[in-house]
Amino acid sequence: MQLIEVFKTRTRHPFRPRSSDLIQRLFADFREYGPYGDNLIMGEGHLEGRLVYVVAQQKPKPEQLRSAKDVKRLNWGMLNADEHSRVLGLLRRLAETGPHEEAVLLSLVDTYGADISMYSARRLQAFFIAHLIRAYLTVPIRTVSVVIGEGGSGGALALQVADRRAAFEDAMYATAPPESLAAIIFRDPERIEDALTISRCSARDLKRFKVVDAIIPQSKRVNDAEGMARNLGSYLERTFRDLFRRRLDKLMKRRFELADEMGVIRRGRFYELKRFIERPLYQLKRAPKDIKLITAPSGGVHVDDDYGDGTVIEPGQSFVRCGQEKEGSRGDGCGTMIPLEDWLDNHQVCPSCGKRTVLDAAGWIHAIADPGTFHELFRNMTVHDLLPEEDIHNYYRDFLDKQRDRTTFTESLVTASATVYGYPVVLAISEFAFAGGSMGVVFGEKFRLACEYALRKRWPLVAVCCSGGARLYEGIVALMQMTKTVAAVERLKRTGVPYISILADPSTGGAIASWAALGDVCLAEPGALVIFTGPRVMAARGFEVQEDLVRSDSLLEVSAQTLEEPEYYGDIRGIQEVVPRAGMRRALVRYLEVYARVRQGMPLPKGTRPYRRRLRPDLAVAHHEQS
């Protein structure tokens, strides 16, 4: 069958067996903990003589869609923040009472994605997904996950990380629903077949890219629950025998190794060498490439069309008009003419009305790093170093060519070493000008290497999220970068190296649902959009949107409640501070100073050198005056 036929007639068949159908046939003694609503099943039973904890996503059955009200419900089959809280609570209890040497945690994945309603967004849905990925990586129990039908985006990934991962042969697992992907990439939602091909979402693709390690045969009849359960039972029997021949601690270590391998299919001959040959960039206070400048004609004086404001531009001067800073700007600013130097020094914020543009990586480096201390790391890495050429389709090649003309950086993540008021740090900064800061295989690998570098140096990692999420052109491997970056952050946390996450505008998609949500401290700029699914996509799918409620200033109030509801939020703290761009460097140095002072009084691991602050004389004067 063609991929589109499999998708329409099998993967999304309305009578395809659901999680409850399989659980009923697998377990003779299953005891459900809930009920927790229509989308989540949690409980325990025995299989092959082992205690099995079950977490399962449940799509609706035809009998649940009998009325117009049922059909109009938008979040069928998608776990909301409350349900994610329940799963996180179970994993937390397993961690507190473990290790569980004689038990197994089984996850059944079957979802369109995570709930994207305003209710879940306001309850920090993206933070729950990030913490669930981390919890599955670290839970001290043998784990198995199976994609039984459809795996959708981060909503599936929140339950899919495991020691053994499988998918039914007619199941699919994608970064985004094919309808959405077709609309975004091809501007045509009808090109579902092309979107499925690019997604690399079939079971064979999943195995090739190590998203799963086994494919389970499917019955000929798509509604054959008995046959499907029998095949799943056979897989679990073999898998349990294999898992219990291996030590739990080694399995847990292997989870991190698998995460590191996600998306690194091809390592060129000079891969290890190339990553350390950088071309550092020192002068970063410059106008973005797509900025719309107003300058005087050569040899004359230019009076702008709106000459009533008294702005006269002499030759050699450059101005930016608020609301028309870039080509295609919506013109929602105050119209003030701002000298380019002043606009850059104010971090691309209008001094009259406070309107901000999305700040590029160079702008963020200028905002937080000491002048002259920025040294870029891993600059030369490209997708051609990591993926086979046959997986870089022509649509993607054309897309990459266009992105390279928009910025001086070579990818959507810029990694570097620098100092902040003399304190050394490692930086990982999204470059929104390159593919909207989207996460692809290069992004994930550079982030992992930045964490490694921070660990070796024992320097704090400062990350800036300004991203639209996973890069759809790379298909399923882009989604797996969420797991990879979460694993890299977990290594930092285990060694006590601080990780400070800055949420810029926008912080959305797989970025905020992975590494960006896990900072020891999460700062945000004013008005930053912080949400798993963007408002336009929410509105297009029929969900109510109140954008002001998912901006950083409003979510700061929600975050304050996390300490009051420990059973619900666990370790999730959301946003700790909202800080203007001009004050971000001063906010950072407060936390860096605490780390430096605490380390001086702490015993260090064997073989590490004490952290010493290296402060240049000129920076010391500036720091003293600022203090």
0.75 exceeded by pTM: yes
Q: In the prediction, which pLDDT does 308 show?
A: 46
Specify burial of residue 127 (Cβ count, 10 A radius: 0-12, 13-18, 19+): buried
Mean pLDDT of 161-190: 90
Query: Does the structure show a pLDDT above 60 at 625?
Result: no
Rounded distance between C-alpha atoms, residue 410 and residue 113, angstroms:
31
Residue pair 453/434 in contact by the 8 Å Cβ criterion: no
Mean pLDDT of 64-91: 92
Place 304 in a pLDDT band, splitting at 50, 70 and 90: low
Closest CA to 136 of 618, 425, 483: 483
- The residues, any chain, with a CB within 8 Å of residue 296's CB and separated by 6 or more, are 302, 313, 314, 315, 316, 317
Exposure of 86 in the CB half-sphere (CA atoms within 13 A): 19
Helix, strand, coil percentages (3-state) for the chain, rounded to 5, are 40, 20, 40
Residue type for position 158: A
Average pLDDT along the chain? 88
Residue pair 108/158 in contact by the 8 Å Cβ criterion: no
Helix residue ranges, H only, 561-606 = 566-569, 584-600
Q: What is the pLDDT of residues 340-375, one digit of tens each?
A: 888 998 999 999 898 999 999 999 999 999 998 999
Mean pLDDT of 91-110: 97
Specify burial of residue 322 (Cβ count, 10 A radius: 0-12, 13-18, 19+): buried
Residue type for position 164: R
Q: What is the pLDDT of residues 557-582, one digit of tens each?
A: 999 999 999 999 999 999 999 999 99
Q: In the prediction, which pLDDT does 472 show?
A: 92
Rounded distance between C-alpha atoms, residue 179 and residue 228, angstroms:
27
What phi and psi values does residue 583 have, to the nearest 5 degrees? -105, 5
Closest CA to 52 of 18, 22, 80, 83: 22
Q: In the prediction, which pLDDT does 616 show?
A: 41
Domains of the chain (ranges, CATH numbers)? 3-261 (3.90.226.10), 294-345 (no CATH), 361-626 (3.90.226.10)
Mean pLDDT of 302-314: 56
More confident residue, 184 or 582: 582
Q: What is the pLDDT of residues 253-282, one digit of tens each?
A: 999 999 998 877 555 444 554 545 455 555
**CA-based end-to-end distance of the chain:** 69
Specify burial of residue 222 (Cβ count, 10 A radius: 0-12, 13-18, 19+): middle
Cβ neighbours, 10 Å, residue 68: 7
Query: Does the structure show a pLDDT above 70 at 286?
Result: no
Q: What is the pLDDT of residues 383-421, one digit of tens each?
A: 988 888 888 989 899 999 999 888 889 899 999 999 999
- Asked if the peptide bond before residue 297 counts as cis, ω within 30 degrees of 0, the response is no
Query: Does the structure show a pLDDT above 80 at 81?
Result: yes
Q: In the prediction, which pLDDT does 68 show?
A: 85
